[in-house]
Chain A
Amino acid sequence: MSQDMLVLLAESLWETIYMVSVSAFIASIIGLPMGIILTTTAKGHILEQPWINKVLGAVVNATRSTPFIILMVAIIPLTRLIAGTSIGTNAAIVPLTIAAAPFIARIVESSLKEVDTGVVEAAQAMGASPLQIITKVLLPEALPSIILGLTLAIISLIGFSAMAGAIGGGGLGDLAIRYGYQRFRADIMLITVIILIVQVQVVQSCGDYFSRKLNKK
């Protein structure tokens, strides 16, 4: 394999890592509070607000049911507004974030719902405020499960990022399509696929490790 090809591979790898980590980070910042709101405003929970819950739930569902490739194209005007351009790695981060945030919201929601209601009740009986219940009970108790969920979200993002090539986002997926598939470079195809597999393995192993380490159950 030529020197150029190696550089290209390294660049693509970096683009994938960059897109995935930045979008995972921003999506977590958006998704975490959404998940908390989805949980706590549900019926019978500490901040019961059926309407907020229904509206937010509907928004999340709508975003999640749109196929990523369509979402990416559909929000191009928004992407341009936020990233200043609709082409390139930075532009790809916008749809990736928007696709991942509701996913993370649901993951956080299901993790928080696993927390034993008895523990929440005990905290209430001790005079904890809703904010204290969220920060000192729900989040710490659900953390191992949230970490596993975020791992899942990052792996999905690696998959989504392969489609970012469609708007010139670059990354390994884009490389595999343009060189491996369209130029019949089986070696490039093979190597990108292997790198992607290794990437997913590493992410999953890290997630498992931290989750296990934090789980005291």
Chain B
Amino acid sequence: MIDLQNIHKIYPTTNGSLVALNGINLRIKRGEIFGVIGKSGAGKSTLIRCINMLERPTEGTVVVDNEDITAMPEKELRQARKKIGMIFQHFNLLSSRTVYDNVAFPLELQGMSPAQIKDTVMPLLELVGLETKKDQFPSQLSGGQKQRVGIARALANKPKVLLCDEATSALDPQTTKSILSLLKSINTKFQLTIVLITHEMHVIKEICDQVAVIEGGEIVEQGSILQTFTKPQSNTTREFVSTIMNHDIPAVLAEHDFSKQPQPDSNLILRLSFIGHSAEEPIIASMIRHFNVVPNILFGNIDQIQNTPYGTLVIELAGEQQSIQNALNYLRSKELGIEVIGYVSRHARAIG
């Protein structure tokens, strides 16, 4: 649906040039909710603006719905933009127009008759739950309501793509949740492709199918949500994931020295991650039954990502070194993520 090929964006500044985007390649499928996450200044705003040419890339092509919009003359581009809706962090509603007239605005631009406009606007206001507010002005609405007007306005032209520029960053957590579920339902209802940029990982976790992590104008990691959350590859991704999932070593272990190699009289500290059906298997119980080891759970967390259960356990294994190794091999034969945090001297620890 959206294909970004080798996008570069360079801003000339007084002291040299500033590279905002440095060779971005992205492919976004029809009907997908695609999240781009990055810190401020990473280039995510520029990236999303390249999709509808609010920012013209210095180099590279943008193909939306099989049309190369980088090559379009101004007039054609304006037509193409009507098929790409956009919502904003600060809503950007017209303060001089009522809720109804704000939603009608894109249709007025097309020269639609008032009767036709009414037939389009009213169902949209119902969809976003604002039919009773239609004659109010934006200043009389709350942030969440303003964003709902923004969404209705963006949908008025029946777009194929919806771009969300930090759409929930100015909203409180509850409102964010309701806006995200509205976006999700629109996505399923209209088979609408949604691209959203954010700096909040929970937004990605809540509704995205795919995620790309952007840093310094480059995509450092990209993949399905489950894969990215459970096996983050880059440091930036790990940082983002840790904002909502605890990947730190538990505090009780922090002051100990770890060795990566098995030491005599040492306990093994492991981080196990369970995904999907492996989360439902009694792996720890059968490990205890088969091997002469004593596990101690130091940290545990079970969460859901896109309806898939996902759990993390940090355990400490005590016992004969040989038994520990056998248990480790047993765990490795199972479908789980295993990270050896290290061996810690038994004397330093109270158990075992």
- A-to-B contact residues, CB < 8 Å: 116, 118-119, 121-129, 132, 136-137, 140-141, 143, 214, 216-217
Given contacts A125-B54, A129-B78, contact A119 B139 (CB under 8 A): no
Counting chain B residues whose Cβ lies within 8 A of the other chain, the interface size class is: 20 to 34
Query: Is A136 in contact with B81, judged by CB distance below 8 angstroms?
Result: no
Alpha-carbon distance A137/B108, docked complex (angstroms): 12
Query: Is B94 in contact with A127, judged by CB distance below 8 angstroms?
Result: no
Question: Chain A residues with Cβ under 8 A from B105's Cβ?
Answer: 123, 126, 136
Query: Is B82 in contact with A216, judged by CB distance below 8 angstroms?
Result: no
Alpha-carbon distance A121/B54, docked complex (angstroms): 7
Sampled A-B contacts (25; CB under 8 Å): A116-B90, A118-B92, A119-B93, A121-B54, A121-B88, A121-B92, A122-B88, A122-B93, A124-B54, A124-B81, A125-B85, A126-B81, A126-B106, A126-B153, A126-B157, A127-B106, A128-B78, A128-B109, A132-B109, A136-B109, A141-B96, A214-B96, A216-B96, A216-B137, A216-B139
With an 8 A cutoff between CB atoms, is B97 at the interface?
A: yes
Question: Chain B residues with Cβ under 8 A from A128's Cβ?
Answer: 78, 109
Question: Chain B residues with Cβ under 8 A from A123's Cβ?
Answer: 105, 109
Q: Which residue of B lies closest to A141 (CB)?
A: B96
- B-to-A contact residues, CB < 8 Å: 52, 54, 78-82, 84-86, 88, 90, 92-97, 105-106, 108-109, 137-139, 153, 157, 163
B96 to chain A, nearest CB (A): 5
Question: Chain B residues with Cβ under 8 A from A121's Cβ?
Answer: 54, 88, 92
Q: Which residue of A lies closest to B83 (CB)?
A: A127
Query: Is B92 in contact with A116, judged by CB distance below 8 angstroms?
Result: yes
Query: Is A140 in contact with B78, judged by CB distance below 8 angstroms?
Result: no
Question: Chain B residues with Cβ under 8 A from A217's Cβ?
Answer: 95, 139
Query: Is A119 in contact with B94, judged by CB distance below 8 angstroms?
Result: yes
**Nearest 7 CB-CB pairs, A to B?**
A122-B92, A118-B92, A127-B81, A127-B78, A216-B137, A125-B86, A127-B82
A120 to chain B, nearest CB (A): 9
B31 to chain A, nearest CB (A): 21
Query: Is A126 in contact with B96, judged by CB distance below 8 angstroms?
Result: no
Alpha-carbon distance A119/B96, docked complex (angstroms): 11
Q: Which residue of A lies closest to B159 (CB)?
A: A126
Query: Is B109 in contact with A141, judged by CB distance below 8 angstroms?
Result: no
Question: Chain B residues with Cβ under 8 A from A140's Cβ?
Answer: 94, 96-97
Query: Is A118 in contact with B90, judged by CB distance below 8 angstroms?
Result: yes
B69 to chain A, nearest CB (A): 12
Query: Is A136 in contact with B93, judged by CB distance below 8 angstroms?
Result: no
B167 to chain A, nearest CB (A): 12
Alpha-carbon distance A128/B77, docked complex (angstroms): 10
Alpha-carbon distance A129/B84, docked complex (angstroms): 16
Question: Chain B residues with Cβ under 8 A from A125's Cβ?
Answer: 52, 54, 81, 84-86, 163
Question: Chain A residues with Cβ under 8 A from B79's Cβ?
Answer: 127
Q: Which residue of A lies closest to B107 (CB)?
A: A126
B52 to chain A, nearest CB (A): 6
Question: Chain B residues with Cβ under 8 A from A126's Cβ?
Answer: 81-82, 86, 105-106, 109, 153, 157
A46 to chain B, nearest CB (A): 11
Alpha-carbon distance A122/B92, docked complex (angstroms): 6
